[in-house]
Chains A and B, each alone.
Chain A
Amino acid sequence: MDFYDFLNMKIRLIKIFICIVILVIIGTFFLGLNKDSIYDTKGLEGSYIGNIKLDHFNKNEIISKKNFAQKGFTLINFWASWCGPCKIEHPFLIKLNNEPSLQIIGVNFKDKKENALKFLNDNGNPYDLLAKDKFGKYSINFGIYGIPESILIDENFMILKKFIGPITEKDYIFIKKIIKDS
């Protein structure tokens, strides 16, 4: 095989390679067309939460599944002091705090510590356990796309319900009913 044969073969290989790449891209586009591209976390209801990793709000430790209640229900609430609607849902969280078989875990989202503490001072602290997510990274694993958002899970970490936006009177009654029925 002389040099020109080699060159021709190389060019042919490059041509085939280009065609394959383009075919793969177009094929992907074609398959992608039939997929629904609108992001919706409602579909997460009924699924299980995998590993949990959050920073503790005060202490320098990590909150994992171990810290969650072994019995009953847990409401994970994502909030921040800069979030207006969080103020609205807060009274309901305070009321829910009286439920013995419900643990409320707060995740302080992209917030400043002193602002968060002031918020809890002014409005009361409904949380059994407080975590922080300073850069909004951990919350992504929970499928959070805005705050406030809350997730109600059972002792097996199955998501019973997602509350997108502030918890309302209706949601409050719903949560109470679930606890009562169990």
Chain B
Amino acid sequence: MLSNIGNSILFFNLLLSLSIIYFAFQELKRNYNFINKKIYYISLIQSTLIIICFFTLIAGFLISDFSINAVYQNSHSLKPTFYKISGTWGNHEGSLLLWVIILTIFSFLFLVTNKNHSKKYRVYTLITQNILIIGFIFFILFNSNPFDVIIPTPNEGLGLNPILQDPALAIHPPLLYLGFVGSSIYFSAAIASLLTNYSGHNFARSIKNWVLISWSFQTIGILAGSIWAYYELGWGGFWFWDPVENASLLPWFAMTALIHSLIVLEKRKQLYFWVIILCLLTFTLSVVGTFLVRSGILNSVHTFANDPSRGIYILIFLSLMIFGSLSILFKRFKSNTYNFNYNSKETFILVNNWFMIFYLFTVFLGTIYPIVTEVFYSQKISVGPPFYNTVIIPIVILFLFFMSIGPKVRWIKDNIDNLKTTLMILLGSVLINLFIFLFFKSYSLLSNLILISSIFLIISTARDAINLLKNKEYNISRIIAHFSFGLLILFIGLNYNFSSEKDFNLKVGEVKKFENFSIKFKDLNLKEFKNYKAVIGTFEIDDFKDNTKLFLSPQIRIYDNPSTLTYEASIRSGLLKDFYITMSNIDRSDYYNIKFQKKPFMVWIWISVILISLSGFLRFFKYENKIN
């Protein structure tokens, strides 16, 4: 029943998209400068229906209707209600439905909010966006349909992978998708702009908000995934350079470059084609990311199911998208030379873009390299942190320095008159680093440079903030973004260098003493929960240096559906440091393997990223106000 509703809506939406494209082409023949109400209505109906469709699937999960394949595969009647709902998008089919929702709603919102732009431009955007919608609905209907029916209806579902039953992961896909899929709208707009020769300035104004919104959501979405990895995967790390993490980072780099160069296009009416390329690139990379994750071509924490036919479909779609947009771009491309003064804001923004493209290229290479070796040399390799750290870290240092100086430079041409202050700030940063160095004892030269450059960025940005407040000229979002990026790198640097870790085996009643800690394995309890059993250990941790005592209780969870063991870390977060403990059982023995970690400033890493994302939202609201 539910499955029929879902299928019908999807099919109907396919027809609506086709009709929008048809009417849109009709509109192009008419001379008046407004879009026929009919198109608005169809687009509105389409958005409403796709939301209803999604709720139908949620309903299927809520009432545990196991005749629906997606529900059967990913849910279980005993699962908590919250995870029944989040299970809707926690799987391949459901998440594709989320794709289509965002594509559709963004299409409608773009149509409604850009009334002061040229009709041709809006109509072409609508057409392109609906072609994308059709592509994805096709994919859902003919390859990955969440509403597929199983006959006879199974009595019980297979359950959601336990490591996905987690609050951070429940919100992670929707947030990330708002960024990922949100970028589709400026992909479409870029195509429309090329086709209609729309002026760069107006184009920049019309997509600016969309870039900001998708960028902010992408940032916060990556964070949610990172926090999940921190406490769920049990390694104590928050970024593993896993192919899938990289897949979310690639569009982020392109978006960040875009946010910056868009300013040049808006203010100085230059870099038009570069902005277009970035728009096309961002969404293309989002689809590439989806391909890498969903096809199972790479091994990662996200490869929960492999199905080559999905891969083929996405790949065909991707190729059509790339070559379609490329042929339009090549046809319209006019080479023009930019004469930027080397000491101007434009140049510095371009420098930002070079860095972003460099990061993008590095991460892309590292991500697809295992596929290349597999295909050409039949060798299975994985590219891990050493590659990324070696290539990226030295460049980050340089990047932070440019980031500190860049924003102060004026448009068109500037003079070097603030060299003295810059040197003073640099000296200050070196001194602060020296204090940290003395306080924590030694770390590598590269780490020193990372800390110095991030402190340099923090102080420079803080100084900018004071100057801007004096001039009553607020560009608070830029300041927050740069400031918190400095904080982020600083805290990652500190965390990386001063985390400590101890691995040992203990049984109940034993005490382990090392450095200034004593860890007592107090007791072990078995508790029954609704959908799992948990072995909960209680550990008493004494820190002689701070004279503090705390209790941590890591768990080993035994899930029945599907039967899996998960190891839940127990974490005590503090402003200065996190204590992190995991335990795992050792077969046929009373001993448990205990991993104890001290991780300084974890909370500040999260806070920095939240601030970065917040800066995007702030700019969005500020920009909104300016229009009205």
Interface residues of chain A, those whose CB is within 8 Å of chain B, are: 7, 11, 15, 18-19, 22, 25-26, 28-35, 37-39, 82, 84-85, 87-88, 166
Contacts and interface: CB of A to CB of B under 8 A. Distances in A.
B315 interface: yes
12 contacts: A7-B335, A25-B368, A28-B368, A28-B372, A30-B312, A31-B375, A32-B374, A33-B295, A37-B296, A37-B374, A87-B589, A88-B587
B591 interface: yes
Contact of B586 (A25, A30, A34, A84): A84
Given A25-B368, A38-B299, A88-B587, 20 more contacts: A11-B335, A18-B326, A19-B326, A22-B326, A26-B315, A26-B322, A28-B368, A29-B295, A30-B315, A35-B375, A37-B299, A37-B303, A37-B306, A37-B374, A39-B299, A82-B504, A82-B505, A84-B586, A85-B587, A88-B589
B513 interface: no
Contacts of A19: 323, 326
Contact of B315 (A29, A37, A84, A87): A29
A84 B330 contact: no
Nearest 7 A/B pairs, CB to CB: A84-B586, A32-B371, A31-B375, A33-B311, A32-B297, A33-B308, A32-B375
Interface centre among A30, A33, A38, A88 (most CB of B within 10 A): A33
Given A11-B335, A82-B505, A33 B593 contact: no
Interface string B371-397: 110111010100000000000000000
B299 A84 contact: no
Contacts of B504: 82
Nearest to A15: B330
B591 to A, nearest CB: 6
Nearest to A34: B308
Interface string B289-328: 0010001111100010010100110010011001100100
Contacts of B291: 29
Interface string B563-605: 0000000000000000000000011110101000000000000
Nearest to A32: B371
B371 A28 contact: yes
Nearest to A7: B335
A34 B375 CA distance: 9
Contacts of A39: 299, 380
Contacts of B368: 25, 28-29
B333 interface: yes
B227 to A, nearest CB: 27
B587 A26 contact: no
B166 interface: no
B503 interface: yes
Nearest to B319: A26
Contacts of A29: 291, 295, 297, 311, 315, 368, 371
A15 B329 CA distance: 10
A174 to B, nearest CB: 19
B282 to A, nearest CB: 16
Contacts of B380: 37, 39
A77 to B, nearest CB: 17
Contacts of A22: 322-323, 326
Given A29-B291, A85-B586, A88-B589, A11 B333 contact: yes
A153 to B, nearest CB: 22
A28 to B, nearest CB: 5
A84 B591 contact: yes
A22 B587 CA distance: 50
Contacts of B299: 37-39
Given A18-B326, A84-B505, A37 B298 contact: yes
Kindly name the residue among A7, A28, A32, A84 whose own CB sees the greatest number of chain B CB atoms within 10 A: A32
Contacts of A38: 299
Contacts of A35: 374-375, 378
Nearest to A88: B588
A18 B588 CA distance: 58
B315 A33 contact: yes
Interface in B403-453: none
A6 to B, nearest CB: 12
A31 B378 CA distance: 11
A166 B587 contact: yes
Nearest to B504: A82
B312 A33 contact: yes
B589 to A, nearest CB: 6
Nearest to A29: B315
A82 B503 contact: yes
A94 B504 CA distance: 24
A26 to B, nearest CB: 5
A134 to B, nearest CB: 15
Given A18-B326, A38-B299, A84 B371 contact: no
Interface string B118-130: 0000000000000
A19 B327 CA distance: 10
A166 B588 CA distance: 11
A87 B591 CA distance: 11
Given A19-B326, A82-B503, A37 B297 contact: yes
A88 B586 CA distance: 9
